[in-house]
Structures are given as structure tokens and as C-alpha cells.
A and B are shown apart, each in its own frame.
Chain A
Amino acid sequence: MSDNCALKTPDHETEGTLQIENPVMPFLRQDRIPHIWCPGCGIGTTVNCFTRALEESGLDLDQVAIVSGIGCTGRTAGYLNLDSFHTTHGRPIPFATGLKLANPRLKVVVYSGDGDLTAIGGNHFMHAARRNMDVMIVCVNNFTYGMTGGQVAPTTPIGATQTTMPYGNFENSFNLPFLADACGAVYVARWTVFHVKQLARAMKEGLLKKGFVFIEAMAPCPTLYSRRNRLGDGVDQVKYFKENSVIRNGAETKEVGLSFQGEIVVGKFIDRERPTWLDSMNAHFSQHFGDKYQTYGGTNG
């Protein structure tokens, strides 16, 4: 609970104390706070933005489900006060697919890390985007596998050092917005945890958008990525985000690749309309079977 704030209440002449709660608290499982994330870890900041987005979206929170994979970001499911599912490494997207198709009224959000979603989970990412599955993906990109001690990830830029590339990474890294765009995502954005307002707004837009939504949230990993690469601590990395980001809404996704401590293009790159997998299925079967077919599921609440 928050500290009390000494303010005069209308009923009392003397100073009363009042419990003012941090507005983010009702969205969290308060019996699980404090969380396990390191000092200066950006994941918590993304969660703040997400709770802000949840509030402003006006969605019925009983109908929002969150699905995480394994990793530091994957722990998010355990802290949010929603129907939350902590699944297996790389597989939150197919789990979310099953959950959504079983109950189309749910708004399903996948909240997971760069390694989980695009390395081991890469195949599922591709296909859910291709199908335009109605799920929102929040990919917290900290360029590393944090939970296991800082190994190279498909997003680690060339030149960065991680434990499994001890002499510096020489592998090409993903341009995640380009990947999402190429696979067919209908909403693609990248923000960093410096851009808290824009990130919260993007998450809100994503919550209200139908189709495969992809939001890359760049965040520092002070303990592993920053430390091993001598980049300072969390706040130094967020200052790097601040000083090196360029907002280019509508930029060509193939031009927003990242490099080690280089320029970061942020913005909302793609926002288009396509029928979702379920809408396509219903339209197709309605056409095929005519009156005999009953539309499956309701529309997304």
C-alpha cells in the first residue's frame, strides 16, 4: 500500500491521513509485488504503459487475457491481475491462438520477450501473423536472453558481447518490424521505454485493433546486456534511447533495422485492415454452406 499523504479531509479539522493508492495497483497482483526484475529493468516500465493502456481502452478487464512465454518478460503474466497464462518457452502465441479461437470474445494479449517470440517462437510468430490471428503481441526487446544470464538473441546487434558470443556477436540480427510486416501483421510499431506516452498509446491502439498487432518495446537489461557491453546502467541505456531515437511514423519497415548503439527509428509503421482468421473462416463457411452455417463465436468485445 502507498504511504499516506498528509492532507486535510473535508470531515476533519485536523490533518487526516488518507490512503491513496498508486493507480497502477488494481491492475497488478499485489500479493506478488515486489517483482523479480532487476533495478533499472525496462520491463516494469512497459507494464506501467500497458496498465495505462488497459485503463484508457475501456475494455472489460474480465475479458482480457494475457499469455506469456518464458523469460524475464514472460514473468509479466504473473504480475498482471487478469486471466494470465505463463506457458512454455516460445509458445505463447499458439496457446493464445487456441484461447482466442475457443472464446472469441476475449481480447488476448501475448506479452513476451524477443528471444521467446522470435527465436524458439519464430515459427509461431510467422504463422499467426500470416493468418492475421486476432491477438496483440507486446515484444519487449532487450537484445538478450536475460533470465538465463545474458546469451545472444536473434535481436542482439553485431558487435555486442553476450555469454554465448564471448568475442562479440557476428550474427545478423532481426529487424522485428520488418519481420512482422512481411508476415502480414496489421499493426506494427516500435517504441522504447523512453517513449512511455507513445508506448502506452500504441498499446491502447493495439488493444482496440482487430488482427495481428505487433508492438516492439525496446527496454534496457542493465544487469546483463548493458553491463557486459559497458553501456552503463538502466537509466544510461534509456538516455541512449532518448538521444538516438528518431520518430518516423509510416517509415518503411525494411529501413528500421538496428545496430549496436546506433540510430533507433521508432514510430507506428503499419496500421492497415485485413480480415482476421476467424472473420475469414466465418465469411468462407457462410458462403459455402449458406443458411445451414451458424457464425462461430461473437465479435471481439
Chain B
Amino acid sequence: MKADPKGVLTGNHFIDGDHAACEGALAAGCRFVAGYPITPSTEVVERFAQRIPLIGGMFIQMEDEIASSIAILGAAWGGKKVMTVTSGPGLSLMMEHIGYAAMTETPCVIVDVQRGGPSTGLPTLPAQADMTQVKWGSHGDYEIIALCPNSPQECFDLMIKAFNLAEQYRVPVFFMMDEVVGHMTERVVIPAADTIEIAERRWSKKPPGEYKAYEATSDMVPDMVKAGDGYRIHITGLTHDERGYPSMNPPTQKKLLGRLLGKIRDQREKLIDVREEHLDDAEVVVVSFGITSRVTGPAIEEARKRGVKVGHLRLVIAWPFPDTVIRKLAQRVKAFVVPELNMGQMVLEVERTVAGKARVVSVPHAGGTVHEPQEILERILEAAK
């Protein structure tokens, strides 16, 4: 369906990533945000608080991130498209509710504007060090989706995709920004509302009595309902059966987990979103995401000038990790170079999928600023030898 024009600020704007992300959420139909201030993400909710009263929706600043992360889930079961916004320390607090969202299959978008860590770290400076945490941070086995915008324009465009994926797969979807993408100001073009496709919630067509809260449909994802429509649903974080009732035994656990994981893992081909450049003749591939991809560009240009056949693979969806793309490349390239604003996180996924068929060179960074193109260039030249 088309976006609601009330939430679409059509026009050419000169705004930063945080602001663009807010506009993306509004365009996607987000009408409930519960948040808590944390640098460098606060502007997203500040703008939402300012915009939402006249659009028709709700913003509430909760008492902490733990409250924010579950208030949005309550609102989702009240029928709204929901989002919360945070950075590293807040994301750590939200871990239990990320698991709860995954277990109850509650669609939501969680924006993480990453900053230096660990702990309080570097509140006003960038990093990309929460990448493994979003995938593995909560207890138990579950799957999530994570997107990595690299510009304010993408903060708008990909936010729409994030909300659509949340509705389609009924998982928490993470929007992995960082302090630089969040605070860089660039041109953002917001199109007309009727050119923006948004996914409606997959409302069940079954009547009360027939509907089962966790009965899978053809894509392993159950259709959803909301409180107040007479379904008398029961939603729990305990291991549950198709009715949603607690059923704590190994066969139910196996069946449930099979579906919670399978709905993403078995459809991961549909969840590949990468941007490829110069890959046709590449002997070395730089795998990057987010802000690091902006710095990688000049490094690749310079390397090419020096005759190195290097290509660029940018992850737009980082989770699920695009195994098949990397594996295919690994058959024919010599080396992968993985620059990231952390001490080696996504490189572990590259190593895993390459499985020794090519060299994998990490270009870590403790965080606080972006790589110099020179750092990445040196690794590319090394890898090309």
C-alpha cells in the first residue's frame, strides 16, 4: 500500500542522518515511538516528538531503555507500527526485550546510532562495534534483520525497507547507523507519498475461534491480530504452541525454534541486499558497511589507479549475513579486505563463509573516527600481492 501523505515530508531537504531516519519512519507509517535520550541518537526522537502531534500518533519518553523497548512491543500489539532509538549502552539494556520481541514475533524497528564503546566509551564519536551484539546479544537462539545505511538519504530510504521487513517477517529489525552517518548533513530527497510502497501488517483474515496466534502461513510467519478485536489472544515469552499457550517441553521447543529461525534462515536469499562495484574482474574484494563504505570508495579508486583489480561489496543488509554472495566470490578472488569501525566483528562472518578458500584481511579500528582511506589502501595493496 502507499504511504500516508500525512507522514511524508515530500521535498528536497538538507538534514542529517538522525533527522532523515525520523522522516523515514514517519513515511513508513510509524506512529508510536517510545524512547530515551542517548547521544548520538537523541535527535531522532526529538524530531519525532516534534512532528508526531500534528501527524496523529504517539511519542513518549520512557524512564529508561528497558521501558522503551517493551512499551513499543505493547504498542505493536495495540496495532501500531513502532520504533525505538538508542545507542550502545541503551542497546545493552534492551537485550531481554529483543529476545521477547523475537519470541513473540512482534514487529518493531530498533535504531542503534553506534558510538565508541565499550561501556560509556565515546558518546559523541563513531564506531560500528555493536554489529555482533545485535545478532547475538540476547539469550537463546533467534534471528533478526539488520540494515546499514551509509548516508542521510539511505537513512530515509532504508528505514522504509526496515519497517516493511519487520512487518513481513515479524522480527525485530535493527537500523545500524553510527555517529557520523547520524550527524552528517547531506541532501535528502523525499518523494511523493504515492511513490512510496509500504507493507501493511499481515492482519489475519480468520475470525476469532479459528485464528491461532502462532500458526504459520506459507512463509513460516503467522498472521497477526491486535488486542481489542475479540480474538482473546494469549502472548507469552514462554515456549508456546500454535495457540500461544505455554507448552514447555522439548518437542514444542524444537518446533517453535525451527520456525522462528527458519523463517529467516530458509529465506535468506530473499534477504540479500548488497551493492557491488568493480566485482567482475576483481581479485581482491573489500567488504564494508555503513560509514566505512564511504571511506572505502577513495581507497578503491586509488588502488585501481595503481593497477590493482579490487572490487567493493557493500552490505546493506548485514544480518542475515549474505553467505552465498561471499562464498561465490571466494571461489574466484584472492582475498577479502574487511574494514570496520571495530576490532573485528563482521570479519568473523567473512572468515566463516570464506572457509579458507581465500585470504581474509581485517582492517580494525578502535573507534572514535573513521578510517583514513590510506589505511584501507595499504591493506588492499598487501592483499593483492
Contacts and interface: CB of A to CB of B under 8 A. Distances in A.
B170 interface: no
Interface in B225-274: 226-238, 245-246
B232 to A, nearest CB: 6
Contact of A94 (B56, B74, B228): B74
B237 A88 contact: yes
Interface in B60-83: 60, 62-64, 66-68, 70-80, 82
A99 B63 contact: no
What 4 pairs between A and B have smallest CB-CB spacing?
Answer: A102-B78, A98-B74, A98-B71, A86-B236
Nearest to A127: B63
B237 A99 contact: no
B295 interface: no
Contacts of A99: 74-75, 77-78, 227
Contact of B73 (A86, A95, A285): A95
Residues of A in contact with B, size category: 35 or more
B53 A293 contact: yes
Interface in B26-50: 32, 34
Nearest to A70: B237
A56 interface: no
B54 interface: yes
Nearest to B99: A88
A124 B67 CA distance: 7
Given A91-B70, A294-B56, A101 B234 contact: no
Given A81-B232, A85-B235, A98 B97 contact: no
Judged by DSSP, the binding face of A is helix
Contact of A83 (B75, B96, B227): B227
B235 A86 contact: yes
B78 A98 contact: yes
Given A87-B237, A123-B63, A296-B56, A98 B73 contact: yes
A219 interface: no
B381 interface: no
Interface in A65-117: 65, 67, 77-78, 81-88, 91, 94-103, 105-106
Contacts of B56: 294, 296
A62 B78 contact: no
A99 B74 CA distance: 4
A292 interface: yes
18 contacts: A62-B228, A62-B229, A62-B232, A67-B74, A83-B233, A84-B232, A85-B234, A91-B97, A95-B70, A97-B34, A97-B60, A97-B74, A98-B32, A98-B78, A102-B79, A127-B63, A285-B53, A296-B58
Given A65-B227, A102-B75, 12 more contacts: A62-B229, A62-B230, A78-B245, A83-B232, A85-B236, A88-B100, A91-B97, A95-B70, A98-B70, A99-B74, A99-B78, A102-B58
Of B68, B73, B238, B245, most A-chain CB atoms within 10 Å: B73
Interface of B: 32, 34, 53-54, 56-58, 60, 62-64, 66-68, 70-80, 82, 96-97, 100, 226-238, 245-246
A29 to B, nearest CB: 7
A123 B231 CA distance: 32
Nearest to B78: A102
Contacts of A289: 53-54
A281 to B, nearest CB: 8
Contacts of A105: 228
Contact of B78 (A32, A82, A88, A106): A106
A63 interface: yes
A32 B227 CA distance: 20
Of B57, B62, B246, most A-chain CB atoms within 10 Å: B62
A46 B382 CA distance: 72
A62 B238 CA distance: 24
A85 B96 contact: no
Of A81, A91, A98, A103, most B-chain CB atoms within 10 Å: A98
Contacts of B34: 94, 97-98
Contacts of A96: 74
Interface in A244-301: 285, 289, 292-294, 296
Contact of A63 (B63, B64, B96, B228): B228
Contacts of B226: 103
Nearest to B71: A98
Given A65-B227, A77-B234, A84-B235, A98 B246 contact: no
Contact of A98 (B53, B75, B100, B232): B75
A97 B60 CA distance: 10
Contacts of A84: 232-235
A29 B246 CA distance: 13
B237 A86 contact: yes
Contacts of B54: 289, 292-293
Contacts of A106: 78, 227-228
Nearest to A292: B54
A137 B203 CA distance: 30
Interface in A14-55: 29, 31-32
Contacts of A95: 70-71, 73-74
Given A95-B70, A101-B78, A127-B67, A65 B235 contact: no
B97 to A, nearest CB: 6
A65 B34 CA distance: 20
A252 B223 CA distance: 50
A91 B66 contact: yes
Nearest to A105: B228
A231 B66 CA distance: 38
Contacts of B230: 62
B195 to A, nearest CB: 26
A86 B100 CA distance: 10
A98 B80 CA distance: 10
